[in-house]
Amino acid sequence: MNPKRPRDLRELCYPFIYETKWQCDYEIATDELCSQVGVVMAQLPTGFDEVQADLDRLQRLIYNLNGSVRGRLGIFEDDLTWLKGRYDHYNAATHGRVTGFVLPRGPMPVPTLHLCRCGAKKVVRLLVRLEENGVSWDPILGRFANLLANFFFVLTVYVKAGMGVDEVEYVSINY
């Protein structure tokens, strides 16, 4: 018996878990991101119904992003247009609130949203690694994942504003 392919499927968490290709890492990262969005949804205080609805839709899109490298493309221009519209909506609602770097902190679910932002960046980096290793993917995936990271940031600003929490500026000594 191959120890990487147990006979008892209860001992196998994911069919591709023993692959050495980057596709599996990408799929795990998008799965983690989708799970973190679920945590945000559980942590959202009352009164953020619009955000809740957007995150509900976003979870499905993240799973579509997940399968779009190994399987059929599941992210389309309409999805990108929708996410850009939601980004613009929350950005306009918080215009002028952030003018530079801010520290990633605040009450729940803000830190979790920041983890989602970081997770989306990891997805972008894994797409880069996939391409570097000869795996082709539709350019819309990179566009969507980059936009996703930016969306999560603007959502942190929106949620903090809605909770009456100020941003804490960070002034870098490096740049």
At 105, give phi and psi (nearest 5°): -145, 170
Asked if the model's pLDDT at residue 3 lies above 60, the reply is no
Within-domain flag for 168: no
Q: Which residues pair with 102 in a beta bridge?
A: 169
> Does a structural domain hold residue 1?
no
Would you say residue 9 lies in a domain?
no
Task: Provide the residue range defining the domain that includes 75.
Answer: 20-162
- The CATH number covering residue 122 comes to 1.20.1200.10
**Residue 123 resides in a domain:** yes
Q: Which helix (H) or strand (E) holds 139?
A: helix 139-162
Six token digits for residue 11:
């001992």
If one counts the domains in the chain, the total is 1
DSSP letter at 85? Answer: H
Contact assessment for residue 152 and residue 116, using Cβ atoms and an 8 Å cutoff? yes
Q: Residues 13-49: pLDDT tens digits?
A: 888 888 888 999 999 999 999 999 999 999 999 999 9
Give residue 175's pLDDT band: very low, low, confident or very high (50, 70, 90): confident
- CA 153 to centroid of chain Cα atoms: 10
60 within domain boundaries: yes
Model confidence at 7: pLDDT above 60: yes
Instruction: Give domain status of residue 130, yes or no.
Output: yes
Q: Which of 70, 75, 80, 78 is nearest to 136 (CA)?
A: 70
Q: What is the dihedral of CA 47, 86, 69, 131, to 10 degrees?
A: -120
Given a contact cutoff of 8 angstroms between Cβ atoms, the answer to whether 104 and 170 are in contact is no
Beta strands in 69-140, from DSSP E residues, in sequence order: none
**Given this model, what pLDDT does residue 1 score?**
43
